[in-house]
Structure 1
Amino acid sequence: MSVITGLGVVAPNGAGLPEFWEATLTGRSGIGELDRFEHSGDTPRWAGLVDGLDPAEHLPGRLIRQTDVSTRFALIAAQWALDDAKVDPSTLTDYEMGVVTANASGGFEFTHREFQKLWARSPEHVSAYESFAWFYAVNTGQISIRHGMRGPGFALVAEQAGGLDALGQARRVVRSGVPLVVSGGVDSAFDPWGWVSHLSSGLVSNGSDRATAYRPFDEQADGYVPGEGGAVAIVEDADAASARGVPGLARIAGYANTFDPAPGSGRPPGLRRAAELALADAGIRPDEVDVVFADAAGVPELDRAEARVLRELFGVCGVPVTAPKALTGRLFSGGGMLDVAAALMSLRESVIPPTFATSTVPEKYGIDLVLGTPREAGLDTALVLARGRWGFNAAIVLRTPENRS
């Protein structure tokens, strides 16, 4: 059995798990005006940015020089997760520790800065660190190197679904006999080129008010707000964690991923099948799920599709649904993992955070979206859903450690 024993969070509304959870319950948003460079006032201007976190306070200068902002976030979150799980890697066997991370955009800011040097000056001015700082696998590599983890290493690319896929792969690695795996998803792409890549989706909100620009499942939803950051978890074999005297925060009871069929095929998207497969993997029925952390795209067409999945799977208003990402924006690979962090805290404290930005859910959606204030509830099982652009779907079932059925 695989359990999560530690969490590290770097989110727009809180650097550190306690700060993030307090913001999630009180409605403190991390969405603000994008001010890292000049851009047209005619474009969307809101973003979920991590401010107030100085990497120099957490990382040596040599690492800061050779890493992109997303890798710095990943390294900091990984250290916090190890601390939370009371893991000292130097006391463990190097080949018995693995690393699995997800990343969708690579080292955007770093690599575009080096490209500018190449174009404006000459190749000899380009940093040698460009050879790896841009790469999707760099977070896995840098975490492995820093902590002497020589076990299995993987890097996954599935946009918003990537973080859940990383956690699912970490569970496979633990089942193969590796006692401990560092796993998560972190992304950042907020230089000018990164911003253009966000806007190219055509799905970014044009809302004039930062508090309601991203309002998933709302009757006036008009798109999402992109963000940066994510979360890293420590996944361990339950017996190994018990031998260390560390209780699990939750166990990964089920996981599945699917891919949407080709457009025009007439076949339905794969989100429902991902949820059904994850529940089957966990050995539970839909009526045993206590809360769903929705993908919550904030795009009317996608919200309707997800609401239909929830309605068909659980019945009309059959399960509480929430989308705390309305306070952070969609974080690419970091989004699913941030929902995992919120779900774990919900299970631990028996409370469901609301979807603060949303006010009116169309009746035809038929979902019980938690609004306004946190909802106290006895919670044992949470389902986390994620959809990545171009057809990726993933679902994770988390259960309290006490429930071993």
Structure 2
Amino acid sequence: MTVPAGGYRARTLITGMGLATPHGLGVDEFWAATRIGKNAIGPLTRFDASGYPARLAGEIHGFAAADHLPGRLVAQTDRMTQLALVAADRALQDAGVTPADLPDYAMGVVTAAGSGGFEFGERELRKLWSLGANHVSAYQSSAWFPTATTGQIAIRSGSRGPNGVVIGDQAGGLDALGQARRQIRRGTGLMAAGGFEASLTPLGWAARLSTGLMSTGDDPDRAYLPFDPDGRGYVPGEGGALLVLEDERNALARGASTVHAELAGYGATLDPRPGSGREPGLRRAIELALADAGTAAAEVDVVFADAAGTPELDAAEIRAVVGVFGPRAVPVTAPKTMIGRLLAGGAPVDVVTAVLAIREGLIPPTVNVEPSAACELDLVVGRPRTASVRTALVLARGHGGFNSAVVLRAVD
């Protein structure tokens, strides 16, 4: 890995990855399941959902925070933050970074969140109603807040650089990466960035149901069907991913042993006002990301779709992708059909998946989906597809009109 001379802007590199998904806590474990299309969606068990119209989820089973974190930290944090802390530890280890050895202000943290610490908040509210205010944890004031994850990662790692939180539903995870790259270009050598959600609770479930976008199917293999004529919504999941991003010169200076990929381009837009008659902003986000990366559409080897799972939203995504690339001109996949939509955590997981696809030359499938003959996407379904993957595009949309896209590129 060398840096060209002259007026070259140093690349932003992904040097570490950590995640927590329904496939497990390790990157290798996640990839082993994803590359073969293993479905992790099943009946919701974190609470009794029998009285709700939707009863399936992508859960992380067997996770005990006390197995990974000190007891005092477990008591202070929600499941969302606990998952993020474990992933952050693994991402920094993967990058070969010991935060205590870094100069002051050399590292920052940006995460995305949508719901915040629902489980912690609900538990403390039950104490308030049943036992009284004296029984409510002092950490109620912080653990439920969407900023808690960034704050706890920063404290645990000793990060004193630029720290922040972005909120944009499913698109927020890519926005966190875009914000992290912005801070790197302003002079911060290393950023930890990603997104996490863990709102599989009664209140979190009710909030998601209110959008009308969730699937009410009871068959785990036919409940979440983006780009399928039978698609009627998405299945929620929990978890997310944390990535270590570095300025190329910073990575060279510290002798980084692993470089997974380059975060080459980023674009974000907002949809126009409903009823305006104007097209949604996803196509523009794609075009901005490609332009930012200096990449032509023909150079993209795979698109990781947002895959909302409802006919209207899927049709809009098809128009955007076909408008940029042409009909069936690029392979498209949505591995999130195996684990559910993780909201703020979903797109960073797709970024990790894209990096792994680049590494192995294998596009994982969109499971259980049977697109119609009229679908203009070259959707990878049924089985993984072997391919030379040098450049990948990851898309994400958030409820309320958020659109984001990132371009990832192999690093020689």
CA distance in 1, matches of 2:139, 2:52: 36
- 1:125 counterpart residue number: 135
Code of the aligned partner of 1:263: P
SS in 2 for 1:230: strand
Shift of 1:177: 0.7
Correspondence 1:376 to 2:359: no
- 1:273 counterpart residue number: 284
Deviations 1:109-167 (A, max 9, x none): 10111111112222111110011101111111000000100000010100000110000
Correspondence 1:113 to 2:96: no
Shift of 1:42: 5.5
- 1:215-230, aligned counterparts within 5 Å? 215-230=225-240
SS in 1 for 2:303: strand
Shift of 1:364: 2.7
SS in 2 for 1:59: coil
CA distance in 1, matches of 2:321, 2:373: 14
* Contact 1:308–1:365, Cα closer than 8 Å, also in 2: no
Of 317, 330, 343, 2:328 maps to: 317
Correspondence 1:304 to 2:315: yes
Correspondence 1:250 to 2:261: yes
Correspondence 1:193 to 2:223: no
CA distance in 1, matches of 2:32, 2:48: 32
* Contact 1:185–1:337, Cα closer than 8 Å, also in 2: yes
Segments ≥4 residues shifted beyond 3 Å: none
- 1:179 counterpart residue number: 189
SS in 2 for 1:94: coil
Shift of 1:14: 2.3
TM-aligned CA distance change 1:42 to 1:102, over 3 Å: closer
Shift of 1:70: 0.2
Deviates more, 1:333-342 or 1:239-248: 239-248
Correspondence 1:93 to 2:103: yes
Of 293, 308, 318, 1:282 maps to: 293
Shift of 1:39: 2.8
Shift of 1:242: 1.8
* Contact 1:311–1:365, Cα closer than 8 Å, also in 2: no
TM-aligned CA distance change 1:41 to 1:126, over 3 Å: closer
- 2:16 counterpart residue number: 6
Deviations 1:274-308 (A, max 9, x none): 00000010111111111000000111111111011
Shift of 1:94: 3.0
Code of the aligned partner of 1:115: L
Shift of 1:43: 1.4
Deviations 1:154-208 (A, max 9, x none): 1010000011000011101111111110100001101111111121111111222
Of 116, 123, 147, 1:137 maps to: 147
CA distance in 2, matches of 1:121, 1:15: 36
Correspondence 1:163 to 2:173: yes
* Contact 2:37–2:384, Cα closer than 8 Å, also in 1: no
SS in 2 for 1:227: coil
- 1:77 counterpart residue number: 87
Correspondence 1:48 to 2:58: yes
SS in 1 for 2:33: helix
SS in 2 for 1:56: helix
TM-score by length of 1: 0.97
CA distance in 1, matches of 2:319, 2:220: 28
Deviations 1:43-96 (A, max 9, x none): 111001011222111100001001000000010000010011111111111311
CA distance in 1, matches of 2:358, 2:46: 37
TM-aligned CA distance change 1:42 to 1:125, over 3 Å: closer
- 1:388 counterpart residue number: 398
CA distance in 1, matches of 2:328, 2:394: 17
CA distance in 1, matches of 2:362, 2:300: 14
- 2:244 counterpart residue number: 234
TM-score by length of 2: 0.96
* Contact 1:304–1:365, Cα closer than 8 Å, also in 2: no
> What count of residue pairs does the alignment treat as equivalent?
401
Shift of 1:240: 1.2
SS in 2 for 1:14: coil
Code of the aligned partner of 1:21: W
Deviates more, 1:24-33 or 1:100-109: 24-33
- 2:33 counterpart residue number: 23
Structure 1 unmatched runs, 5+: none
Correspondence 1:33 to 2:4: no
Q: CA RMSD in A?
A: 1.0
Structure 2 unmatched runs, 5+: 1-10
SS in 2 for 1:364: coil
CA distance in 2, matches of 1:33, 1:198: 16
Deviates more, 1:30-39 or 1:183-192: 30-39
Correspondence 1:348 to 2:359: yes
